[in-house]
Amino acid sequence: MNKTLLLDELVEKELLDSEQRIVIEEYEKRKPVSLFVFIRTLLYTSISAFVGAVGVLIYQNIDTIGHSVLIGLIALATAGCFYYISKNVAAYRPEKVEQSAPYFDVVLLLGCLLFLALEGYVQYQYEIFGTRYGMAVMIPCVLFFYLAYRYDHQGVLSLAVTALASWVGLSATPSKLLVENDFSDPEVIRNAVIFGAAVMAGSWILKRQRIKAHFTYTYILLAGTLYLSACLGGIFTQDRWQLVFGLLLGAGCWYLYKNALAEKSLFFLLLSTIFAYVGFTYLLFNNVSNALMEALGSFYVLASAAGIVWFFLTYKKILGKK
């Protein structure tokens, strides 16, 4: 609702007087506005556009410019990015580090994306890895993990986790999680559960050791979502192992719930609640007799609706937020 209309409505209902309305209106006009998120989003969008433009340049001019020239230009740009970050990086510390150099995070992410473009181009053109595609994925994976921890960059960490997932044949990016992973395939489900559990266990150990504890959010966002999705896939498609996948799902949801409380994260709380509700509901309706479900189905739907209302009314209290 427009703020002016809202103020008018409050005045009409005599919840505000005219003087209070003027004070609030003046405050809204003069209050400072943070441009940090806007500028940061614009910079990351610019990086994506630049890397995409490099790909278009390669495609449209491959016959006129030549492979060696294009590879050399991309390699120079990549080396320039890494040279900049190596000269301006702060000393390593296991806790969170704020880099003081301007555009440090942006340049580091650009260098990593250019490295991926360079490696992909060289592999496509010269097949330096042959058919050993796993090596082509593992090299940037190892490099990005090192860069993420050395330079304290969660965006690069997400690239590393995604590369690691690709190495085991999975997609961990949110936009492709449910599209490219066939959760009706038992092998995909098994690999996703093992991968997600292993990554989350590793992040828990690192957090306990206080080594970049703030990276836990990225690990859970990617590996945790993949793990829970795979558990649901197992519940839906593997009838013989429904109970096992149900217990695994419950354990994963509990882990996300505990992290939601620790981090005061609404997102983790939503994930744990939604996945737990879907899994429990499916198991309930799939394993209870039809006669009983006909009797209790309506009550369950009403109770679920009431639970949703209660959740949104009390989630701040659950997370300990004011």
pLDDT in tens, 53-97: 766 766 666 666 667 777 888 899 899 999 999 999 988 999 998
CA–CA dist 141, 162 (Å, integer)? 8
If one compares 192 and 17, the residue with the highest pLDDT of the two is 192
pLDDT in tens, 220-254: 999 999 999 999 999 999 988 999 999 999 999 99
Least confident of 17-21, 43-47, 147-151, 205-209: 43-47
- Say which residue the tokens 């609640």 belong to: 273
pLDDT in tens, 106-165: 889 889 988 998 898 888 888 888 888 888 899 999 999 999 999 999 989 999 999 999
- Say which residue the tokens 């960059």 belong to: 153
If one compares 263 and 320, the residue with the highest pLDDT of the two is 263
Kindly state the tokens that stand for 189: 């489900």
Q: What is the pLDDT of residue 10?
A: 74
Q: What is the mean pLDDT of residues 272-293?
A: 84
Q: What is the mean pLDDT of residues 202-219?
A: 93
What type of residue sits at position 202? G
* The pLDDT of residue 281 is above 60: yes
pLDDT in tens, 152-210: 999 899 999 999 999 988 877 766 777 778 888 899 999 999 999 999 999 999 999 99
Kindly state the tokens that stand for 169: 């044949």
HSE-up (13 A, CA, CB side) for residue 159? 25
219 with 252: CB under 8 angstroms? no
123 with 136: CB under 8 angstroms? yes
Model confidence band, residue 35 (pLDDT cutoffs 50, 70, 90): low
Residue 231 CA, chain-centre distance (Å), reads 18
* The pLDDT of residue 34 is above 70: no
Backbone angle region of 210, left / alpha / beta, with phi > 0 → left and psi within -120 to 50 → alpha: left
314 with 321: CB under 8 angstroms? no
Q: What is the mean pLDDT of residues 22-26?
A: 76
